[in-house]
A = this chain, B = another copy of it.
């Protein structure tokens, strides 16, 4: 099936040729203040330089110089996938330059591209870890070599650059196309009939196809998606499930195995399904999303409950204290959900994006933007130790944010996501504009038929639930403004020029002949609320979680003045919201000291209940070592 590929130039990560919604670019939407603008500012001012510094220091960038100089051998620094981290940094820089026009960053970006480009081989191959004397041959270890995975991040960087600086991309797109042509020649029909152990090239090739109009890249992505699950990779100790090579994508019913791999693959498979109009594949992916959300997702939106294999567990196996919930898996989930949202337009996808952004992505970086969580536990049982400031942490599961990891996929992944975050705020379709995420924003775009629509959004969200949308410019024809009402927002109301109405969870539409200066105000309830888990989630039986708006809250020992293991929530005493601070009545109890912990012992109150502040989960561990829990046992 050969189909026309619509080439799009929107400055946004994903531009499907068809689907329910059209994404907007960074030139069309800017986040102008509030929660996310603060994080974007820290990301641009501190994180990007921090990440570049560590990549230089660890020699990951230097590997490209050595490759160009011909001095690389079998003992280069960094893990087998370290090239990809440099590409993710390039992507983050590209979005940041697109967002801010930062000239100094532009110079750093160009210098870095030049160093990468110098390492590319004449046939387009580019990887500092394979193919040289002393190194293993190219593509000799598809299971663990990550060569195609690295290309994937290279392509995404090139697409980001091409869409934000189409006139002067610095040669990155041409470099990526040479590599992509090499991939198509090597892994296309008649070539190596296998896939990469870590999915990522699938969505990247699809997007490179969309960015360049070159259909071959989409076809290659489709080939990779179809091959996955047919057992072309080795049956490793972790099982083929680890890299989703156990079941063909269109036959799978739930995400499984390595949670980042699973989400990246699903994201790429949506791209392929959309571009090839493969309704069966899209249905399978929708089912996978539904089952994964209903059975294998933490209340934070985090995914992956096993440290071993960084993988999904069984259905309903979601232990808070061994939550792996890798930051990158959260980002992968945002990628997957966003593509389904563009394809189908359903607000449930934006709900999960929001939950994951606030409670996984925002949790990873420290307030200063120079330390990160790789995993995001929901229950910290013992106060962690502060990781060394000047040494990469060897382990992903450090209990406090670390400046760097030997496997440092998460920091640049957070950076590229924050820099491009405006892309997830709004979309358009033939009839109007949809607001998916709420932040102070400036939106200047046009509907599909060319009608200009300019909006300004003002809100103190998530601290406050009032979202005020002012029409800045509009033409004198009716169109529809669609606002997402999050699933948690029972009792929301909408105020339009016509009056006030109830706004049930889902979406609410305002169809009218707008005039400049019109205001639509969505009022979302942000009183703290209590949720219990599906009883099949055994690990949190007898516990509840407190949430406020899109934020999951937690109790931290710093506020409790005791270990969180002793905290019991007194629900009857209610919750209070005092100027955005959520106060709960917590009774501290202590268990009998027992030589054998099973039998008829009990626990005793340490004192009467007292009001304790519950803080947003994303803010925890910013005040030194502590214990913390999201799920609090009932008194």
- Residues of A whose CB lies within 8 Å of any CB of B are 235-239, 290, 293-295, 297, 299, 306-308, 313-317, 319-322, 348, 351, 379, 381-382, 394-395, 406, 487, 531-539, 541-543, 545, 565, 589, 591-603, 633
Pairs A–B under 8 Å by Cβ, sample size 9:
A293-B596, A317-B381, A319-B319, A321-B539, A531-B598, A532-B599, A536-B591, A537-B597, A538-B539
A519 to B45, CA, bound (A): 85
Which of B314, B379, B533 is the one whose CB lies under 8 Å from A598?
A: B533
Interface of A is mostly: loop
User: Cα distance A540–B306 when bound, in Å?
Assistant: 18
Q: Are A235 and B538 in contact, with the CB atoms below 8 A?
A: no
With a cutoff of 8 Å between Cβ atoms, the chain B residues found around residue A531 in the complex are 598-600
Residues of B near A545 (CB, < 8 A) are 598
Nearest chain B CB to A604's CB is how many angstroms away? 10
Which B residue sits closest to A395, measured CB to CB?
B237
Q: Which of B395, B597, B633 makes the CB contact (< 8 A) with A294?
A: B597
Within the assembled complex, what's the spacing in Å between the Cα atoms of A567 and B321? 24
Closest residue on chain B to residue A352 by CB atoms: B596
CB distance from A619 to the nearest CB of B (A): 20
Residues of B within 8 A of A351 (CB): 596
B395 contacts A535, CB within 8 Å?
Answer: no
Cβ B315 vs Cβ A237 within 8 A: no
- The answer to whether A539 touches B539, judged by C-beta atoms less than 8 angstroms apart, is yes
Given the interface pairs A395-B237, A541-B541, A598-B531, the reply to whether A314 lies near B307 with Cβ below 8 Å is no
Closest to A544 in B: B598
A322-B321 CB under 8 A given contacts A306-B307, A395-B239: no
Q: Could you say which of B308, B532, B537 contacts A308, with CB atoms under 8 Å apart?
A: B308
A179 to B603, CA, bound (A): 54
A596 in complex: contacting residue of B294, B542, B591, CB < 8 Å: B294
Name the 4 nearest CB pairs between A and B, nearest first.
Answer: A534-B597, A307-B308, A308-B308, A541-B542
Q: How far is the CA of A351 from the CA of B290 in the complex (A)?
A: 48
* Set B238, B314, B535, B591: member contacting A591, Cβ < 8 A: B535
Q: Which residue of B lies closest to A315 (CB)?
A: B381
CA A322 to CA B541, docked complex, whole Å: 16
A565 nearest CB neighbor, chain B only:
B536
- With A308-B308, A319-B322, A539-B319 in contact, do A534 and B595 touch (Cβ < 8 Å)? no
Q: How far is the CA of A313 from the CA of B379 in the complex (A)?
A: 13
Most B CB within 10 A of own CB, among A351, A487, A595, A598: A598
- Copies of this chain per assembly: 2
**B597 touching A381 by the CB < 8 A rule?**
no
**Minimum CB distance partner of A531 in chain B:** B598
* A236 CB → nearest B CB, Å: 7
The smallest C-beta distance from A293 to any residue of chain B, in angstroms, reads 7
B596 and A381 contacting across the interface, CB-CB below 8 Å: no
Distance to closest chain B CB from A299 (angstroms) = 5
Closest to A602 in B: B535
Chain B neighbourhood of A316, CB < 8 A: 381, 565, 597
On whether the beta carbons of A487 and B596 are closer than 8 Å, the reply is yes
A314: chain B residues at CB < 8 Å are: 321, 381-382
Contact B235 A394 (CB under 8 A): yes
* A596 surroundings in chain B (CB, below 8 A): 293-294, 351, 487
What chain B residues lie within 8 Å of A633 (beta carbons)?
535, 538, 541
Residues from chain B with a CB closer than 8 A to the CB of A322 are 306, 313, 317, 319, 322
Q: Is the CB of A394 within 8 A of B542?
A: no
CA distance A535 to B590 in the complex (A): 9
What residue of chain B has the Cβ atom nearest to residue A307's Cβ? B308
With the chains together, A584 CA to B322 CA distance in Å?
32
> CA–CA, A589 to B535, complex, Å?
10
For the complex, give the distance between the alpha carbons of A406 and B236 in Å: 11
Given contacts A237-B395, A321-B314, A321-B538, contact A532 B293 (CB under 8 A): no
Complex interface: chain B residues within 8 A of A307 (CB):
306-308
A355's nearest neighbour on chain B, judged by CB, is: B596
A285 to B314, CA, bound (A): 37
Q: B535 and A595: CB pair below 8 A?
A: no
Residue of B317, B320, B395, B532 near A600 (CB, 8 A) is: B532
Is there contact, CB below 8 Å, between B348 and A595?
yes
Q: From residue A52, how far is it (CB to closest CB) to chain B in Å?
A: 25
Cα–Cα distance between A72 and B531 once the two chains are bound (Å): 62
Out of B294, B315, B595, which one reaches A293, CB within 8 Å? B595
Cα-based distance from A538 to B319 in the complex (angstroms): 10
- How close is A234's CB to chain B, nearest CB, in angstroms? 10
Q: How far is B355's CA from A34's CA once the two chains are assembled, in angstroms? A: 58
Complex CA–CA separation, A534 to B600 (angstroms): 9
Contact A533 B597 (CB under 8 A): yes
Chain B residues with CB under 8 Å of A534's CB are: 591-592, 594, 597-598, 601
Residues of chain B with a CB closer than 8 A to A295's CB: 597
A444 → chain B closest CB, angstroms? 34
CA separation between A130 and B587, bound complex, in Å? 59
Q: Which residues of B contact A538 (CB under 8 A)?
A: 320-321, 379, 539, 543, 565, 633
